[in-house]
Structure 1
Amino acid sequence: MVKISFNTPFVQKPGPKKDVEALVAERELEILTHDSSSGRCLLTLLGLAFILTGVIVGGACIYKYFMPRHRVFRGEMCYFENDDNGMDGETEPYFLPVSEEADIREDENIAIIDVPVPKFSDSDPAAIVHDFDRLLTAYLDLQLGNCYVIPLNTSIVMPPRNLMDLFAKLSTGSYLPQTYLVREELVAAEEIEDVSDLGIFIYQICGGKKTFRLQRREPITGFQKRSAERCLKIRHFPNEFVVETRICRQ
């Protein structure tokens, strides 16, 4: 008996089906991978946008609440005075420039004055704070590091709005008044042990330093021997005239 067999080409047909299934699965995996990658990119972009928004909002808050809200001006003023030995004030006046920087914060009712190291020797560098809320003025001797506090003289020191206008005109260079010198004599009295209750601005310049309360005294005319006194002399312009503040310690 003869057995006849045939090699049919359809025996391996399941192969292409498996290839199609694998291709479909690979495609689905590619789609899922692409979707996952897109999702990660979207989440990353959302995270970056959130961080950027936080930085912008945080920066605005820091600027609003922590950065000083003020305008800084630089001004110069000339004053003149006649020689006391002149007759009937007919001697020629001499001019001497006085310059300073002003940090004026109108919304906080404060004026911080920086009197730099002068070009002339007959004056001393200092920092001055005029606190119009607490009605106090503080002087910081930048050479010795001592602080002095006295009630604010509102008859001389202009309020922040007027000071701002004055310094704005001075900073343009087109307004340079030639005015007179006003002298005031102050003497250090008792030492202030705690300056924390004098306000944050005075505390910022006087905290940790020897601080004294000041009293006014009438200027002494003529020659007086004051070898026992150590005096600080500050020329500044809290108004449209120059004030020479002389602060002495016994």
Structure 2
Amino acid sequence: MVKIAFQPVAGQKPEKELIDGDKTEILIPHPPEDDLAPPLRPKKNPLNGLCCLTFGLVVFMTSLVLASIYIYRYYFIPQQIREENLFHCRVLYEDSIYAPLRARQELEENVGIYLKDNYEQISVPVPHFGGSDPADIIHDFHKGLTAYHDIALDKCYVIELNSTIVMPPRNLWELLVNVKKGTYLPQTYIIQEDMVVTGRVHNLRQLGAFIYRLCNGKDTYWLKRRNPRKRIDKRRASSCHHIRHLENTFVVETVICDAV
């Protein structure tokens, strides 16, 4: 005879543990009532989801605002400043050097003023009249040097900056702003400065980053000023080149002559 009984889980004592000699008792474990019932899931509070969503939106909006500030500060503002520091100039002046052979002349140039780096860059295109070369000019007030790139010759010339003629970046910027507004017009006369080549520049890096960038890969020479000015004879006049540009309230004609 076989007797089947359910054995309680640990912690519960069986009601009867005796086994008769002629009886075989098979004990089957009986799971507790707690294991039979399905697990209960805690109810979610709707406020928790709303708080998470609100926090995510706040983080997203904050990131968007910071990104917009970064883009405006580092891309839009510098571009705006660069545009405000670029000028296109047209100036009429009396050519007193060659008058009365010539009437009033017009000078056209592009000027970039970089206040932070303390230098000016002037680009003179091919003039409408003859006798002057197109050129790129850099006045580096930090290095105290001026460099002329004669585009017609594709040569560079470097000389000590003449602060009595060349206006500092801040002053020139204010002058050109007033000219652009029409509140001030430069005086319409021209002065001349004569320079002569003294030797070749072998180390361009000593001239600073801006002049190096202008003259790198070009034949570069040192200049010195001729003072007082001597009359240039016809033989030497053929080896001289003229660059007219505006860097003050008057037009300057720079005459660069090769060494004799």
| Cα separation, partners in 2 of 1:185 and 1:172, compared to 1, 3 Å | same
CA offsets per residue over residues 58-87 of structure 1, 9 Å max, x none?
A: 674467789975611122222214477x9x
Q: CA RMSD, aligned part only? A: 3.9
From 75, 85, 107, the equivalent of 1:71 is 85
**Per-residue Cα deviation, 1:135-167 (whole angstroms, up to 9, x for no partner):** 111111122321111000011111111101221
2:161 aligned with 1:152, yes or no? yes
After TM superposition, the score normalised by the length of structure 1 is 0.68
Q: 1:36-115 counterparts in 2 under 5 A?
A: 57=70, 60-61=73-74, 69=82, 71-82=85-96, 94-115=103-124
Quote the residue 1:8 is aligned against. Answer: none
| Conserved? CA contact 1:80–1:178, under 8 Å | no
Q: Report which structure shows greater RCO (CA 8 Å, sep ≥6).
A: 1
Percent identity over the alignment is 37
In 1, distance between residues paired with 2:78 and 2:97? 51
Contact 1:130 1:138 in 2 (8 A): yes
- TM (norm. structure 2) is 0.66
- Greater Rg by CA: 2
Change (3 A) 1:146 1:67: farther
- Offset of residue 92 of structure 1: 9.8
Q: Map of 1:192-231 to 2, 5 A cutoff?
A: 192-218=201-227, 219-221=229-231, 223-226=233-236, 229=239, 231=240
How has the CA–CA distance of structure 1 residues 83 and 205 changed in structure 2, closer, same or farther, with 3 Å as cutoff?
closer
Q: Number of residue pairs matched? A: 220
Q: Using the alignment, how far apart are the partners of 2:211 and 2:138 within structure 1?
A: 7
> What letter matches 2:257 in structure 1?
C
CA spacing shift, 1:206–1:162, aligned 2, 3 Å? same
Distance 1:112 1:222 in 2: 29
Tell me the amino acid that sits aligned with residue 57 of structure 1: Y
CA distance in 2, matches of 1:95, 1:142: 25
Alignment of 1:116-155 (within 5 A): 116-155=125-164
